Amino acid sequence: MTEARPVVEGANHTVAAADGYEPVIGLEIHVQLSTRTKMFCGCEIRFGERPNTHTCPVCLGLPGALPVVNERAVIFAAMIGLAFGSDVARRSLFHRKNYFYPDSPKGYQISQYDEPLCRGGRLGDVRIHRVHLEEDAAKLEHISASGRIHGSERSVVDFNRCGTPLVEIVTEPDLRTPEQAREWLTLLRATLRALGVSDVDMSQGSLRVDANVSVRRAGSRELGTKTELKNMNSFRFLERGLRAEIDRQLGVVRAGLTVEQETLHFDPASGRLTTLRSKEEAHDYRYFPEPDLMPLEVGDELLQAARSAIPELPAQRAARFEHDLGLSAGRARELAFRGELGDYFERVVAAADAAPAPELANWIPLLVERIGSDTDPAGSRVAPEGLAALAAMVSRRELSRDAARTVLSRMVEIGGDPSSLAEREGLLALPGGDGQLAELVERAIAQDPGAAEQVRANNMKAIGPLVGYVMRETKGRADGGEVRRLILERLAPH
């Protein structure tokens, strides 16, 4: 496949501020690739090991050491580009991006500059500007007796991370709200995870997001001056940081002042934004072509390898759930953007014979609620066959919806099949036809004649307490719809 069509991402949530300003957001995302070895040397990539044990002259930047491109990293980057429908360049260049900081032993980062590996494409509603390859820096840790980062006594460097392959994804400024940015990142993360090119864990730093944001008069086509937010290491912080910065900028422009271009740090603890530096320009980095590397050539074989490694992606899967299985767009995204939920749902669908897919899909969030949103349902006690059987019992009216939720909770706790659980717990539905329910309806009416009178007079609100009585008496085993029907039949005005 060559491209993922923008089938998801519902409406454009363009929200103009009340007095006619709108936010504009573009993201720069760094993704650590999960190759076995580093970008330009053979050191293994390991996390959480003793510092400085996976290094060599290349990734330590010792004089005379020469970089060699990791082909697997190129394939991974090409897969990402192909998933966006980007143009993958047959020839691209590595540049040196020069800067001085203790996390960079060479004094420069090997990156790509004006001839990146991939250009264009899109994911969901958002156009992709470019995708390029580069290397990660070392990890700095700031240590102080008090445990504070600022005012630390000393900083230490771990070069194990230095030289890890990174892909930088730069979007066009197509996002309009913090929520939309967050939802789009969820799609991006699901896509990268489906590609299997990264473990995309924000808390571990394998997915890092910088957000560029500006405000402008709604309807204007020009872009306002942007600021860049760094250090957003969770989706929630990203959303909160963006909201804080948008509010700040709106305050500035409403006061008739102008926004200054700068790089900001968002502190999630205080919710405060502080200036890191006024924005650097590309020429500050003295980019020049990396003299130790040939231009990066992407041949047919490599491109074919990348293409054939691309599975069905979340956007396509959401479209299939929506159009082939009849799920709502929201539910389709909810399941498709978390791959393990989508996998589990498909197993439930395969196991079901009667219940329609949208019915089955409704049970997944109920299951997730019970097992916790970080747990893969495949690892829970609830087998897909069991969930399908539960849904079937509800559609055959053998279980009321309430009783089925109770059965589901029991399945989560102790496993087992729903029909024997329901029977053992006395939760099987009371069939409407056998007189038991009719008798309970009589009792409900007898103990609340006032409500009965109102229902007779077509005040339908008054039916609530009557239905409630029967549901209480049956401990939720009765089918609510059937109870309603029986009450209305009994209290029909003549």
**How many residues lie near ligand ADP (CB under 6 A)?**
15
The answer to whether 168 touches 177, Cβ cutoff 8 Å, is no
Binding residue for ligand ADP, selected from 15, 28, 276, 358, defined by CB under 6 A: 28
C-beta of 56 vs 218, nearer to Zn ion:
56
C-beta of 111 vs 474, nearer to Zn ion:
111
Q: Report the C-alpha gap between 68 and 294 in whole angstroms.
A: 10
Site pattern 194..223 for ligand ADP (x: CB under 6 A) = ------------------xxx--------x
- Number of Cβ within a 10 Å radius of residue 478: 26
Sign of CA dihedral 335, 340, 343, 349: negative
Site pattern 149..188 for ligand ADP (x: CB under 6 A) = ---------------------xxxx---------------
Q: Which residues contact 129 (CB under 8 A, 6 or more apart)?
A: 26, 119, 120, 170, 171, 172
Binding residue for Zn ion, selected from 56, 366, 371, 488, defined by CB under 5 A: 56
Query: 35-54 b/e with 16+ CB inside 10 Å = b?
Result: bebbbbbebebeeeeeeeeb
With binding defined as CB under 6 A, does residue 115 bind ligand ADP?
no
| Cα Rg of the chain, angstroms | 29
Closest contact distance (angstroms) between CB of 479 and ligand ADP is 54
With binding defined as CB under 6 A, does residue 112 bind ligand ADP?
no
C-beta of 38 vs 122, nearer to Zn ion:
38
Residue facing ligand ADP at closest CB distance? 26
* Nearest partner of 271 among 303, 236, 224, judged by Cα: 236
Q: Report the C-alpha gap between 312 and 316 in whole angstroms.
A: 6
C-beta of 130 vs 331, nearer to ligand ADP:
130
C-beta of 58 vs 466, nearer to Zn ion:
58
Closest contact distance (angstroms) between CB of 27 and ligand ADP is 6
Give the amino acid at 296: L
What torsion do the CA atoms of 197, 201, 204, 207 make, to the nearest 10 degrees?
Answer: 70
* Nearest partner of 70 among 302, 264, 402, 384, judged by Cα: 302
Closest contact distance (angstroms) between CB of 198 and ligand ADP is 19
With binding defined as CB under 6 A, does residue 224 bind ligand ADP?
yes
C-beta of 273 vs 382, nearer to ligand ADP:
273
Binding site for ligand ADP (CB under 6 A): 24-28, 170-173, 212-214, 223-224, 226
